[in-house]
């Protein structure tokens, strides 16, 4: 998970992106392999996105051309589950 560092009033601050869960999940195609330890890439709504598993402990290995469900996002990274 990516964090943002900033200096505010002379103090180093770390900001973690908020997780947003979608009320209407979408469908995407895996472009670059996604594993529980590694982000990958998907194509969703005609745009390429970085993606990671929504449940990191899930023992999934999503290969290119697999169909996945987009269930949320954390910052600019979409959260996916196997379909």
Q: Are strands 19-32 and 67-74 parallel, antiparallel or unpaired?
A: antiparallel
Geometric angle at alpha carbon 72, from 5 and 23, rounded to 5°: 135
**Residue 16, both tokens:** 């973690």
pTM exceeds 0.85 for this model: no
The four Cα atoms 15, 4, 35, 22 give a dihedral, to 10 degrees, of 60
> Does residue 33 come out as left (phi exceeding 0), alpha (psi in the -120 to 50 range) or beta?
beta
Confidence of residue 15 (pLDDT cuts 50, 70, 90): confident
Express each pLDDT in 39-82 by its tens digit: 999 999 999 999 999 997 767 899 999 999 999 999 899 999 99
């Amino acid at each position: 998970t990516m964090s943002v560092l900033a200096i505010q009033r002379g103090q180093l601050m770390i900001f973690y992106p908020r997780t947003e869960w979608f009320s209407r999940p979408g469908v995407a195609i895996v472009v670059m392999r996604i594993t529980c330890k590694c982000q990958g890439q998907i194509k969703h709504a005609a745009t390429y996105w970085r993606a990671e598993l929504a449940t990191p402990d899930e023992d999934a290995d999503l290969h290119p051309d697999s169909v996945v469900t987009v269930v949320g996002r954390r910052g600019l990274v979409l959260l996916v589950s196997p379909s």
